[in-house]
Chains A and B, each alone.
Chain A
């Protein structure tokens, strides 16, 4: 596969390095010294130029490329790069953005801005942090049928209430289908009696709400941290607070700037916003920050985050999490006593790399590398499954297929054995990679 990457910063070069051994990678950057550096360091073609310029993109061979990754440090530039590329060719475009507002706009309409896939650095970092705090976040989430259906993959922790339950015991959700369990190297198509074991990865398909409820149900109530303090109301801090609120937490958020603090307090009804300097000793004592279960530092720079987390550790906070801007410092942070250091850039690079490796077609999501697929199919009037109940046609298909969800006229139908599939329905299927071709042919 031929991949064009625009922006050779930390994220861009990290992606280039991971992809270079198996793909043809072209990197564009407008900083000549970065281009030189890359040419010597890595086995990629580095071009000096402006990625928003169509001629430069053509020079990079965008016409023959399969994918374009825009990962400069400026959100708007990345969006324009994708939009420009979308005009001349049909390479799959990926844009990296920092601000979630772009992601939210993009989610409204698939392919908006000419962007085929958007990764939001700050949101991703926030999700990573929430996962680190001990709340299971999906390892993989994909939406189908214009957002009505969601596929999510979760790893079941050992102490989870769901662990060692059977599927029928664990399935307390109205519109959720347990599509598959990935156990070690094996894909198990679960029946009601299948037991979920700790360490299993469970693939569920259903409404986004029920997927979220399931994620809350996975984690054991008592091992969850109660008192979470976020220091620094940056975008990442704000997003973490928002995600925590959605999961029923009442975090505390410390922000020094009065205007920003007020803004945060207005946006976050479930969060106690405190306006103070996070290193003010009397404030830390007054608010008993030392009693917190988790403290995470999302201040402006690495030095402040390091100071804030070390101070918190000293005061007696159980667990400290710091955001590191410069990915290389992450190890250093953990070496001096910060429990977890999260690098948004690294997380973004990983996400884009993972996505690039997994991608095949638009309405397909790959599970566990490419061992299985979740796909959306529109049912043709002359399809073999039109007008027939699910239980009947699944018997005729090869093993390893689960109907996860059906949408009809814009609303979700939870499939049961006797549900009759009609022409025009969108069916979201889970299929073992071995049988994908056979199923595609059958339907």
Chain B
């Protein structure tokens, strides 16, 4: 059996066709602000026609190979289509195709790394499109996680499956499509809730700058743990109240959606039972506490509330892989910056919109280590790894550990590449900055340090570096494995 090209193309066609809707919405926003809608309507029409055309290809049953190829291609195709409005508007840096593709890929992979240098140079419609693709990227990864990846047993997906089993969701809707619909609905609902709360704050006078446009824009990229903001100062442009609300939104976005669903059904016991949730929240709070201590010692803020708020916000933003900022943390002391850097490798819970390595994997890795130490003394002991009482099968344990090693290896190579490449171009990126750039893009966080810091931009990097980062954002978002599988020769042989 070789890969059934036509089925894959047909399914990618369906996704492409569906892109017409968000493009049309952005066209509407552009018209609202009396800007040209053409840069959105043109690709909308194009994707509709191309999508419809591809969809007509004969479609057979989706096999394992087709699914891998489809997952890999979808993200690539959507990123390319998403780049078209940037190019057509052609404002600021977006005259160059690499910057347009970088911004689009950074969007759809919910990374949040930007090449925009001056936000005033771009029309409101385009900035809205930038927010919208991040939201779509978050929705896409959720649906993919429950829908397809769980079938392929890839990456965090089988972790999701174990969660699903314990959370009775499968019992509720035996069909994957039904589960995906529930999870998608929850995502939409959560986004709407954040919009309403932000608008409520605005009306109550607690967030004067958070108008309807900003409320929607930030709801779209907080729940999706993506991190774009139409403001140059990111969330730093808004009141403390708005910052607290967005902290909560990011935390929710990085929580397992099946768990969130159980909560909407009143099963609060799940909260206590989830070991991963305890680990994830505990880690965020502990890191924030340490960071607050560091900031206090550094005398960064005058009083307690801003110290706590900025510490928690920055840690949440990095650990959940969102990438917002309320202050330019690049100006902080090395201790504070390195703490945030370490936070980049954590990630939220499996089955959420989060990226990076994810809490589940670290928990499994820690438990594997503990087991290894135990079996050093008791070589005959049989010790299954347990998560919240449930046994994790050994295949998953191996996958998880291999995934962590693979991620760190890719990170190391990418760092070396960025250092060497920027040294040649004479940009003067330090090695720490390079590590930041590698982690922030490959692990889909967004802002790094130095020139690529939270209030900076990736624009200064060479085109070659940007292309490599585009590829690695893509590889990182779909959890490496699907891309690697597609690249193996065995994939293409029968």
Residues on A facing B (Cβ under 8 Å): 258, 261-262, 264-266, 269, 272-276, 283, 286-287
Contact = CB atoms under 8 A, between A and B. Distances in A.
A272 B382 CA distance: 7
Contact of A287 (B378, B382, B386, B391): B378
B379 A286 contact: yes
B381 A273 contact: yes
A117 B213 CA distance: 72
A258 B394 CA distance: 14
B370 to A, nearest CB: 14
A224 B41 CA distance: 80
B165 interface: no
Interface string B378-391: 11111110100101
A271 to B, nearest CB: 10
A269 B392 CA distance: 13
List the 5 closest pairs (A to B, CB-CB), nearest first: A265-B382, A274-B380, A276-B380, A273-B382, A266-B391
Contact of A262 (B378, B380, B382): B382
Nearest to A267: B391
Contact of B389 (A258, A269, A272, A276): A269
Contact of B380 (A264, A266, A283): A283
Interface of B: 378-384, 386, 389, 391
A340 B31 CA distance: 90
B384 A274 contact: no
B380 A265 contact: no
A219 to B, nearest CB: 28
5 contacts: A264-B382, A265-B382, A265-B384, A269-B389, A274-B378
Contacts of A265: 382-384
Given A261-B382, A265-B384, 7 more contacts: A265-B382, A274-B380, A274-B381, A275-B380, A276-B380, A286-B378, A287-B378
Nearest to A274: B380
Contacts of B380: 274-276, 283, 286-287
A363 to B, nearest CB: 34
Nearest to A276: B380
Contact of B386 (A264, A269, A276): A269
B384 A272 contact: no
Contacts of B379: 286
Contacts of B389: 269
B373 to A, nearest CB: 14
The interface residues of chain B, by DSSP majority, are classed as loop
Contacts of A274: 378, 380-382
A166 B81 CA distance: 83
Contacts of B386: 269
A210 to B, nearest CB: 23
A287 B384 CA distance: 19
Interface centre among B379, B380, B384, B391 (most CB of A within 10 A): B380
Nearest to A272: B381
A265 B381 CA distance: 9
Given A266-B391, A269-B389, A275 B382 contact: yes
Contacts of B384: 262, 265-266
Contacts of A266: 384, 391
Interface centre among B378, B381, B382, B391 (most CB of A within 10 A): B382
A286 B378 CA distance: 8
Nearest to B393: A266
Contacts of A261: 382
Nearest to B394: A262
Contacts of A286: 378-380
A146 B389 CA distance: 29
A278 to B, nearest CB: 11
A272 B380 CA distance: 10
Nearest to A258: B382
Nearest to B379: A286
A275 to B, nearest CB: 5
A261 B391 CA distance: 14
Interface centre among B384, B386, B389, B391 (most CB of A within 10 A): B384
Contacts of B383: 265, 272-273
A163 to B, nearest CB: 38
A287 B378 CA distance: 7
A113 to B, nearest CB: 27
Nearest to A277: B380
A258 B382 CA distance: 9
A381 B379 CA distance: 67
Nearest to A254: B380
A265 B383 CA distance: 6
Contacts of B378: 272, 274, 286-287
A153 B379 CA distance: 43
A36 B366 CA distance: 66
Contacts of A273: 381-383
B494 to A, nearest CB: 34
A71 to B, nearest CB: 36
A170 B391 CA distance: 40
Contacts of A258: 382
B275 to A, nearest CB: 13
Contacts of A276: 380
Contacts of A269: 386, 389
A273 B391 CA distance: 15
B395 to A, nearest CB: 13
A395 B426 CA distance: 101
B165 to A, nearest CB: 15
B317 to A, nearest CB: 37
A250 to B, nearest CB: 13
Nearest to B391: A266
A246 to B, nearest CB: 16
Contacts of A262: 382, 384
Contacts of B391: 266
A122 B383 CA distance: 25
A36 to B, nearest CB: 49
Interface centre among A258, A273, A283 (most CB of B within 10 A): A273
A355 B63 CA distance: 60
A166 B182 CA distance: 60
Contacts of A272: 378, 381, 383
A286 B379 CA distance: 9
A349 B391 CA distance: 38
B212 to A, nearest CB: 52
A399 B437 CA distance: 86
B394 to A, nearest CB: 9
Contacts of A287: 378, 380
Nearest to A253: B382
A436 B395 CA distance: 63
A256 to B, nearest CB: 10
B378 to A, nearest CB: 7
A282 to B, nearest CB: 10
A283 B380 CA distance: 8
B376 to A, nearest CB: 12
A265 B375 CA distance: 14
A264 B381 CA distance: 12
A231 to B, nearest CB: 13
A93 B168 CA distance: 38
A116 to B, nearest CB: 34
A283 B379 CA distance: 9
Contacts of A275: 380-382
A394 B449 CA distance: 82
A275 B383 CA distance: 10
A269 B378 CA distance: 16
A148 B381 CA distance: 39
A258 B384 CA distance: 13
A398 to B, nearest CB: 49
A242 to B, nearest CB: 15
Nearest to A261: B382
A373 B379 CA distance: 54
A283 B378 CA distance: 10
A261 B375 CA distance: 15
